[in-house]
């Protein structure tokens, strides 16, 4: 990452390329679908509203400084909606940005060491980690440097730029598994074995419409194998993962198809091709947290004594560094207006460390607060309405944007979340002390709000009543964390009109209060009573005997509900234009030459590998042969072009030539050989394509 105030050469090139691509798109030189795939990898995501974009800012493991928060706020004022939205992936999003302004946004953020690269699209997404990492009293060691090292290792790495779909990685700080490793493609839990650091590895989890619990791949992976193992898994996913049926293009489906044993074998087969058989993460690459000096502050009293006591109990804890406190900031639906963000950042700079973490429940964690600062910090946060007690409690509802900005949103998440928090504040004030029940809402089944691992979850849907359509919510119960990589996927219980969801929450909370055993957890109560019990409990709310006007209007809206689902962009797009594919391969060979010149032979080889695969894909598509995986492309190309004698190879067929990548160390000699073979293949493919066009 570049020094503060400067922009790296790599980022400069990225921004220049984005500017050029936008110009080509606006003048009709690039197809809409092709451009969409390009801009997503640069953090530019189409909104539900036409003509504007959501900019997703990639913050590795949620780390952000007060200075960076101010810059994001300034950019949001200048180009967006003057709002910062924190996500469950520890990103920050800016909405309502004009496409032409995206390069300016990126430039101004890069000046403060913030990137957009690979925040969206079919890439390694933002690497998340427990916000507590580094200060967690339960942690064996701080995972932050490992998350940061992995972010740097895979940023712009050729093996993960155009995968079949996104790839998500998480690090938990302890066995409490507060980063939810069991729902990630790769999840890492720190362990100490025989005095050495390592990780328990969770493999191929995921949420979405079909949630999968991750499998244990390693009980203990030595720390020097963290990066090589991750690279091997990504290489396998890139080669064997689905690329046509987007709803089946995640690692969890590949594991489901081939089985855990076979997947582990495939991962092992990639070892020889790796540029690093062992990789030591330099702990010092991640700047240490600044420790604030203890200020000589005048004695003062809390400006709301009752609230302060509740805040201390629910939002403040002593760090593993004795005498310092972590302070959590609850933010409803993750939104803070930019003017408030600037004031917030100034408060942080005065009383706390500069190492702020965005949390996976859409709040913020402040670190290294001396005890003498707590009352003063509370008072200033309270003045900003950022000292609400109940962080990560039942009253702290997680919600994705839903129909406010997302193309895939079916029902309002934001509006419902705000209403549920209002109900609990007014009717269940003591629920801020309950950490047993977590409530999460998604605007659709895709689970950006993580409803499938909630104790009480909701996802948006539409419901029909005669000829009319009304907004609805699917109720899910019984999800959550068990610890050490184990979790529970919630059960679907019943569908309700969205406007009846608050009453459903009241019924659930009241029933638990009446019938739960002393000290019983909600999930244990759900398991004891059974799914049918809760279906019966909520069934009256699902029955519509008379359709009233309020049921036709979604939360936060005034007009009647309409189902309007667009094309989702969370996973990028698939572009099958033959000539565009061939043109891109020449660019890949140029990138290979750049990597070779820098003695980065493994990257040079992988660029050539992609030239082989995508060149073959282009010719297959020219003959209407559908290509689901890179593995399938190799087999189909041999069948359609090599076995027919149209194209010949010196030794073996196309597949045998391409998979030499796994049989050779990434040396200078092999890189030269592979580059020459890829160049010759691309020339042959291009000549065949010219003949096809000429004879068309």
**Cα separation of 477 and 307, whole Å?**
31
573 falls within a domain: no
Same domain, 79 and 223: yes
Q: What stretches in the chain show pLDDT beneath 50? A: 1, 565-567, 571-576
Same domain, 107 and 234: yes
Same domain, 534 and 402: yes
As given in the structure block, the two tokens for residue 446 are 């895709």
Same domain, 97 and 135: yes
391 falls within a domain: no
As given in the structure block, the two tokens for residue 480 are 């959550």
Same domain, 527 and 621: no
Same domain, 366 and 418: no
Question: What 3-state DSSP class applies to 199?
Answer: strand
**Confidence at residue 34, expressed as pLDDT on a 0 to 100 scale:** 81
- Give the CA dihedral 388, 391, 393, 399, nearest 10 degrees: 90
Same domain, 120 and 23: yes
298 falls within a domain: no
**Confidence at residue 583, expressed as pLDDT on a 0 to 100 scale:** 80
434 falls within a domain: yes
Supply the pTM of this predicted model.
0.92
471 φ/ψ sector (left φ>0, alpha ψ -120 to 50, else beta): beta
Q: What CATH number does residue 406 fall under?
A: 3.30.413.10
**Confidence at residue 2, expressed as pLDDT on a 0 to 100 scale:** 52
Sheet order of strands, 186-193 included: 128-129, 169-171, 186-193, 196-203, 215-222
255 falls within a domain: yes
Last residue of a domain, one of 351, 383, 415: 383
Last residue of a domain, one of 383, 413, 432: 383
**Helix H segments across 468-530?**
501-515, 522-529
294 falls within a domain: no
Question: What 3-state DSSP class applies to 193?
Answer: strand
Same domain, 271 and 319: no
**Cα separation of 76 and 369, whole Å?**
28
User: What domain range is 517 assigned to?
Assistant: 398-552
Q: What CATH number does residue 626 fall under?
A: 1.20.120.330
Same domain, 213 and 360: no
Query: Euclidean distance between the first and final Cα of the chain, in Å?
Result: 49
Last residue of a domain, one of 383, 418, 441: 383
Identify the sign of the CA torsion 45, 46, 51, 54: negative
Same domain, 415 and 483: yes
Number of structural domains in the chain:
4
**Confidence at residue 411, expressed as pLDDT on a 0 to 100 scale:** 86
565 falls within a domain: no
């Amino acid at each position: 990452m570049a020094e503060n105030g400067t922009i790296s050469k790599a980022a400069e090139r990225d921004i220049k390329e984005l500017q050029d691509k936008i110009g080509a798109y606006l003048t009709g030189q690039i197809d809409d679908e092709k451009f969409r795939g390009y801009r997503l990898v640069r953090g530019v995501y189409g909104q539900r509203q036409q003509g504007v974009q959501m900019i997703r800012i990639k913050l590795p493991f949620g780390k952000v400084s007060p200075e960076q928060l101010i810059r994001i706020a300034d950019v949001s004022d200048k180009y967006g909606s003057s709002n910062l939205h924190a996500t469950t992936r520890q990103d920050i999003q800016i909405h309502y940005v004009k496409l032409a302004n995206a390069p300016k946004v990126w430039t101004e953020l890069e000046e403060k060491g913030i990137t957009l690269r690979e925040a969206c699209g079919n890439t390694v997404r933002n690497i998340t980690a427990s916000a507590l990492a580094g200060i967690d009293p339960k942690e064996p060691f701080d995972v932050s440097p490992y998350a940061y090292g992995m972010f740097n290792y895979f940023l712009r790495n050729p093996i993960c730029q155009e995968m079949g779909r996104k790839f998500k990685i998480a690090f938990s700080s302890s066995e409490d598994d507060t980063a939810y490793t069991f729902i990630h493609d790769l999840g890492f839990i720190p362990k100490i074995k025989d005095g050495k650091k390592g990780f328990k590895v969770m493999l191929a989890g995921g949420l979405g419409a079909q949630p999968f619990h991750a499998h244990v791949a390693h009980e203990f992976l030595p720390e020097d194998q963290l990066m090589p193992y991750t690279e091997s898994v990504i290489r396998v996913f890139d080669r064997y993962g689905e690329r046509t049926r987007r709803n089946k293009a995640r690692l969890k489906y590949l594991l489901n198809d081939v089985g855990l044993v076979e997947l582990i074998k495939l991962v092992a087969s990639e070892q020889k091709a790796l540029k690093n058989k062992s990789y030591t993460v330099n702990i010092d690459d991640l700047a240490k947290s600044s420790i604030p000096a203890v200020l000589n502050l005048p004695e003062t009293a809390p400006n709301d004594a009752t609230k302060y006591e509740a805040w201390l109990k629910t939002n403040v804890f002593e760090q593993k560094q004795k005498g310092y406190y972590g302070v959590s900031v609850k933010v409803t639906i993750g939104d803070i207006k930019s003017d408030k963000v600037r004031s917030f950042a100034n408060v942080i700079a005065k009383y706390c460390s500069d190492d702020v973490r965005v949390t996976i429940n859409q709040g913020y964690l402040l670190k290294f607060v001396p005890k003498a600062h707590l009352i003063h910090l509370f008072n200033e946060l309270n003045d900003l309405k950022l000292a609400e007690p109940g962080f990560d409690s039942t009253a702290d509802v997680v919600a994705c944007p839903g129909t406010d900005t997302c193309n895939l949103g079916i029902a309002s998440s934001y509006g419902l979340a705000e209403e549920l928090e209002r109900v609990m504040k007014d009717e269940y004030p003591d629920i801020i002390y309950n950490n047993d029940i977590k409530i999460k809402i998604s605007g659709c089944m895709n689970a950006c709000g993580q409803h499938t691992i909630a104790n009480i979850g909701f996802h948006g849907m539409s419901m029909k009543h005669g000829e009319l359509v009304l907004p609805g919510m699917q109720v899910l119960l019984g999800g959550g964390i068990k610890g050490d990589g184990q979790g529970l996927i919630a059960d679907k219980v019943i569908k309700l009109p969205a406007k009846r969801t608050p009453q459903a929450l009241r019924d659930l909370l009241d029933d638990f209060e009446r019938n739960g055993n002393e000290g019983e957890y909600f999930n244990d109560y759900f398991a004891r009573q059974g799914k049918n019990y809760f279906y019966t409990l909520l069934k009256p709310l699902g029955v519509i005997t008379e359709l009233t006007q309020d049921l036709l209007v979604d939360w936060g809206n005034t007009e009647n509900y309409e189902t309007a689902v667009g094309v989702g962009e969370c996973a990028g797009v698939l572009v099958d234009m033959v000539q565009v594919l061939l043109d891109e391969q020449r660019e890949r060979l140029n990138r290979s030459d750049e990597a070779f010149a820098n003695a980065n032979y493994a990257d040079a080889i992988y660029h050539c590998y992609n030239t082989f695969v995508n060149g073959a894909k282009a010719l297959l598509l020219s003959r209407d042969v559908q290509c689901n995986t890179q593995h399938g492309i190799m087999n189909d190309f041999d069948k359609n072009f090599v076995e027919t004698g149209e194209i010949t190879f010196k030794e073996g067929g196309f597949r045998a030539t391409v998979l030499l990548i796994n049989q050779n160390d990434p040396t200078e000699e092999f890189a030269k050989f592979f580059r020459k073979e890829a160049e010759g293949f691309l020339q042959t493919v291009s000549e065949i394509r010219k003949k096809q066009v000429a004879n068309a």
